[in-house]
Amino acid sequence: MIGKALGHLIRCKEASRLISKAQDAELSGAQRILLRLHLAACDACTRFERQVRFLRRAMQKYRE
């Protein structure tokens, strides 16, 4: 219950923006904490984060 409440300190739209931003730049400490809390409570954003990481790795291998 607490995880779900804390996980919604930011909305999915903001979480997806932070997930994308984290691929190119380091997030601030506060941003990392908010994102981790959100991901702990949101399966959809967790799946999105995995997909982004997968695509990034695939593109890196494609460039090799």
Task: Read off the pLDDT of residues 16-64 as tens digits, 9 standing for 90 and up.
Answer: 999 999 999 999 999 999 999 999 999 999 999 999 999 999 998 887 7
Q: Which of 20, 41, 18 is nearest to 30 (CA)?
A: 18
pTM: 0.80
pLDDT band at 4 (very low <50, low <70, confident <90, very high): low
Structure tokens at 57: 């790795």
